[in-house]
Chain A
Amino acid sequence: MTYTKHDRYPDLRDGGSDAETARMVAQLDALSKRFASAPLPASRDSEIARLLRERALAAQQPQARRRGWRGLSLARRAAVLAVAALTVIAVLTGATLAFAGPIFPWNYGFLQQFGQGPQGETVNLAGSACGYTLKVRQVYADANVFIVGYALYKPDGQYVGAGMLAPVVTDANGATLPVLDIAGSVNLGGSIGTVEYQTFDTGAIQGQPASLKLHLVVPGLSFDHGTPAPSPCVSPASAAELGYGAQASATTASAAPTPAIVPPGDGEPAVQGPFVFDVTVMYHLGRQSRGPITDTQHGRTLTLERVVSTPLETRFYVSGAGWNSYATLHVGFRTIDNASWGPEGNLMVYRLDGSPYSYHGQWTFTIHTMSAAPSPQDKQALPPGTWSFTFTLP
């Protein structure tokens, strides 16, 4: 019997796998096919499709009836003017619009290498709360990300699986590094157990420091499920106080009450800190472009403001681009077209993991307009066209 279906579930192989686990995953996969063997009845399928179409067409009609400004009632004209005025005020006062905010959640496929390779610095910092010890095992920082590898240990010193809740990292200037995501985990075995990797965005770090002094506050950690050991702690905090799934400020974390085991939600227990660490980590600048490059097509100018390439990912910061775009990168004989993108302030940032960092020579970065209709909310939507930027990175 083969278990090729297991390949669909790489997330279930974290920390290693064995034949029995593979067999169980294959069995669950086979079980799921029993459901999949019962398709939505064709009559219901066509009925739902019809209902959706009717509702969609009905939603279109108000738009079709619009006849511009003159077609609006006085009340609606007043409302439109009020919204426009508020928008102008927001822009003039520098208020942050909903689009702002650098958020790039992802996983790095390289973590197996990172966990065991030379890139991460072993630090072995420890912080304790409620009898539990959180150890920061590894750290890494470059011009794109800061990664912290950690593991939690029970009062008896045994490893226990747990994930950080709402960690906060601030730099020496007090600026908070945006939380990115969990990059994965690596089972280092023995008494160390599985090290989890949490990532933060360093894109806003200024200058070329040789190292970063960072302050990490972890308000709490959630266990997989179940409280792994009886705790003498009382439970003074509610789930909301832990900020489960949300960002907590360092101030809040520092003012947290007595450490305790608390259920943050769905009955999933957590150990509450705060666990506090100060860490100095080498800063890898990577390869960065020297200046902006512009390209104008169809009367629209896009500017490649800068490129930051590190071994983990490469980011292209572009002004003038809208959501209705995608990017390709030609390096040597290779074309990379799996960029993801999103806005960061007034820039559109395109990023490639599986970074072309090691590729020297000429790079050609091209932004293309998607043929799909842009969102009406996309104020920077591009007209049809392509914009190319050719350069070399030092």
Chain B
Amino acid sequence: MKIMMQKSAQTLPDIPDDRDASGMDAAHAADDASAVDDAALVRAAQADPVAFGQLYQAYRDRVYWYLLARTGHAEDAADLTQQVFLTALDALAQYNPRKGPFVAWLFGGARHAATNFRQRNRQTVAWEYVTGEAAVATAQSLEDAVVRQESLDQLVRLCAALDPARQELLALRFVGGLTSAEIAAVMGKSEAATKRQLSRIVQTLKEHYHDIHEA
């Protein structure tokens, strides 16, 4: 859990608009989380709620993608994204950086919203939502595209077969782009346990993937 603040710039950092065509990597902006001075943005928003817009710009896509993974429906994910950020704005004064990083607090709200949605709609992580367009678009050849498509489809099925708790861990890590420490803060577990669980899930998927191809 990251509690202390990290300086990245003397002034409020520019928040890049990562919604460009190649912006898929923004899902993994957590890897560069230190580049975004959350603490400064949060303080600014706590002082002036209008500044919350910068936090929205910084996190809307990651939250939306995570909710897309949890709901499987673009419209539902958009509705929940709206709900999460409006709730976060209302509750921002209660956020205490000593209790964890802002991103974990925000995703905690997203997780809560998604869980409520799932209970209402009896859904789990909707890995099957995804299409193969991305794999095809990045393939070197038609054959390559087919192979990648089959591999990813296989993985989609394996992910869908995991229990909901493990699916959620994968969604937070790979789709939401949270680090293990941030996921630990969201889930209320130790970072080590979170890391171990993620590693174990990857191992399980690997073994099952191998089993399928050996069969």
Contact = CB atoms under 8 A, between A and B. Distances in A.
Interface of A: 8-9, 11-12, 14-15, 20-21, 23-25, 27-41, 44-45, 47-49, 51-53, 55-57, 59-60, 98, 101, 103-107, 161, 163-165, 181-182, 184-185, 196, 222, 224-225, 244-245, 265-268, 323-324, 326-327, 337-342, 351, 368, 370-378
Nearest to B1: A105
Contact of B155 (A27, A163, A267, A371): A27
Interface residues of B, number: 91
B27 A224 contact: no
Contact of B48 (A60, A163, A196): A60
A222 B193 contact: yes
A266 B203 CA distance: 21
A33 B65 CA distance: 9
B135 interface: yes
A52 B56 contact: yes
A59 B28 CA distance: 32
Given A56-B49, A60-B49, A51 B192 contact: no
Contacts of B177: 32
B174 to A, nearest CB: 4
B78 A41 contact: yes
7 closest residue pairs by CB, A with B: A34-B130, A326-B7, A56-B49, A36-B24, A340-B4, A32-B174, A11-B180
Contacts of B196: 14, 161, 163, 224
Interface string B75-101: 001100110011001100000101000
A37 B170 CA distance: 18
B192 A31 contact: no
The winner among B56, B82, B195, B209 for most chain A CB atoms within 10 A is B195
Contacts of B11: 370-372
B170 to A, nearest CB: 7
A35 B61 CA distance: 10
Nearest to B98: A103
Contacts of A48: 56, 60, 78, 81-82, 85-86
B189 interface: yes
In this complex, which of A35, A161, A225, A376 has the most chain B Cβ atoms within 10 angstroms of its Cβ? A35
A196 B191 CA distance: 11
A222 B4 CA distance: 26
A266 B165 contact: yes
> Considering residues B19, B132, B199, B209, which has the most beta carbons from chain A within 10 angstroms of its beta carbon?
B199
B100 to A, nearest CB: 9
Contacts of A196: 192
A14 B195 contact: yes
Contact of A30 (B135, B180, B195): B135
Given A11-B180, A375-B46, A28 B170 contact: yes
Interface string B24-62: 111110010010000010011011111111001000110
B56 A28 contact: no
Main secondary structure of the interface of A (DSSP, over half): mixed
B215 to A, nearest CB: 16
B24 A104 contact: no
B15 interface: no
A24 B113 CA distance: 29
A245 B174 contact: no
Given A181-B1, A370-B40, A56 B175 contact: no
B128 to A, nearest CB: 11
Interface in B115-136: 127, 129-135
B74 interface: yes
Interface in B150-172: 151-152, 155-156, 159, 165-166, 170
A56 B175 CA distance: 29
19 contacts: A11-B199, A21-B206, A24-B206, A28-B174, A28-B202, A34-B134, A35-B175, A37-B24, A40-B77, A40-B78, A44-B81, A53-B53, A101-B98, A185-B192, A225-B197, A245-B190, A265-B188, A323-B5, A368-B10
B145 interface: no
A27 B49 contact: no
A48 B55 CA distance: 13
Given A28-B155, A341-B4, A35 B193 contact: no
Contacts of A327: 7
Nearest to A225: B197
A88 B27 CA distance: 47
B33 to A, nearest CB: 12
Contact of A375 (B47, B131, B166, B209): B47
A103 to B, nearest CB: 5
A27 B189 CA distance: 26
Contact of A245 (B27, B60, B189, B210): B189
Nearest to B50: A56
A27 to B, nearest CB: 5
B3 interface: yes
Interface string B1-27: 111111100111000000100011111
Given A28-B155, A60-B48, A268-B193, A36 B199 contact: no
A339 B8 CA distance: 9
Contacts of A165: 190
A376 B47 contact: yes
